[in-house]
Each structure stands twice: as structure tokens, then as C-alpha cells.
Amino acid sequence: MKNNIKVQRAIHNLTQADLAKKIGVSRQTINAMEKNKYVPSTVLSLKIAKLFKKPVEDIFFLEDNEIKHN
Amino acid sequence: MQTNYLLPNKYKILGWVLFIIGIISGFKIVFSDYEYEPIKAKVLSIFNEGFLGSTEMEYFKIIETGISSELASIAIIIGGLIIGFSKEKVEDEFIYKLRKDSLVWAILFNYLVLIITIIFIYDLTFFHVLVYNMFTPLLFFIIRFNFLKLKSRSHEE
């Protein structure tokens, strides 16, 4: 799964630490998500989407090889 | 992230203190060839067959013996458990995953090392391997967990 958290962060002018604090996770978590090293739980994805006031699908996307399995 | 088996973050320091005291006194005992015995006490021995079965089996007997190696072992184990299983300052699902992954890695790595030592180390020297192996799963877990935490902290954009 990919995401554009980094872009959203830039739009809202937030640092990784700011975003982490707002949704109550560690900065490592934001960092790992942005580098696509960690797939967040549904709860965390929804929290991030809610903070950026966007549908989850606008922030998180399946990668091509993940779609093929459907 | 709901976790009910983690201690509060403030216990982490206690864990490190116990762990380090245990390791230092442990090495002191090992390097004295288990001769260093400052503390003696009467203890309950549930069963004892002597050294490699040299005497008859004895059950539930109070014996007097040095207990410094026991105390050091318990300090290392309790300290290590507290370090590994107390909360981080910010405890979330990613940290939880790192902890789990580190545990899996530590068990696999520990037994890989043990297999190698079983094949290549013999006689009484292997006894030393077994002594260290009481603590290496915890040690590998703590090293791996802190390494992963540190690695994911670096490289801010």
C-alpha cells in the first residue's frame, strides 16, 4: 500500500512530529509510513484521513500487484 | 494500540539498572570460575542428583550454598523482561509491531547461534554456552528492538 501523507503534510504545513502529535502516534510511525515501510491499521488510516479532511482513498492507495489478487 | 502486558514507561530505568547490575556481577562470577561467592544462604533444593549423578537423588532438602549467581541471573532476567516489556514514551501500533518482530527475530537468531555452537563446541566448554544461552534470547531481543527503533527514527525528510 502506498500513501501521499508527505504531500498532505506539506499542504497543511506540518512536520512529521506535528502530525505524530496530532494523531497520537510516535514520529517513527509517520516516518515508516511515508517510506512505505509500514502499512497502518484501518484505525490509524481513518484518523489520518479525518485529520486531513479527505476520504481514505485519497491518501492511501493499493499498489498494482495488490490489485491483481482481487 | 491495546496492550495489557506492558509496564508503564517509568519502569524502564529500573529494568536497565537491574540488567546492568546483573550483567556486571554475572561476569565477575564467570571470570572467577564460579568461585566468587560473597552471599551464602539456606535454600530449598527441590531435587538434586549431585554432579552428573555422583550421589543419590535427594528431594526437598534445605541446603546452604552461595546464591550470588542465582541473584545475578534473576537480576538479568527480571531486568531484561522489564526493559523489553515496558511501554515506550509514545506507545503505538508501529512500536508494537517492532516489538513483536524483534521477538521473532531474537528467537530465530538465538537458536541459529545455538545450533552452530552445538555443532562446533564440545565438552565442558559447551556448559559455558548453555550459561550464556539462558540470557541471549532476551539480550538479542533488546538489541534488535532498540536497533529498529533507532533506525526508524533517523532520516527525517
pLDDT tens sequence across B38-82: 888 899 989 888 776 677 888 898 888 889 999 999 999 999 999
Grid cell at residue B95: 512500536
Average pLDDT over all residues of chain B: 90
- Placement of cell 501521499 in the chain: A4
pLDDT tens sequence across B95-105: 999 999 999 99
Which of B88, B105, B138 delimits the end of a domain? B88
Average pLDDT over residues A37-51: 95
* Structural domain total, chain A: 1
CA distances from residue B9 to A22, A40, A50, B133 in whole angstroms, order as listed: 21, 23, 29, 28
Contacting residues of B for A32, CB less than 8 Å apart: 94, 152
Q: Which domain holds residue B64?
A: 1-88
* Structural domain total, chain B: 2
Confidence of residue B1 (pLDDT cuts 50, 70, 90): low
Q: In this structure, which amino acid lies at residue B9?
A: N
**pLDDT (0 to 100) of residue B65:** 87
Same domain, B60 and B113: no
Interface test with B, best of A23, A31, A35 (most B CBs within 10 A): A31
Which of B88, B116, B136 delimits the end of a domain? B88
Is A34 within 8 Å of B157 when comparing Cβ atoms? yes
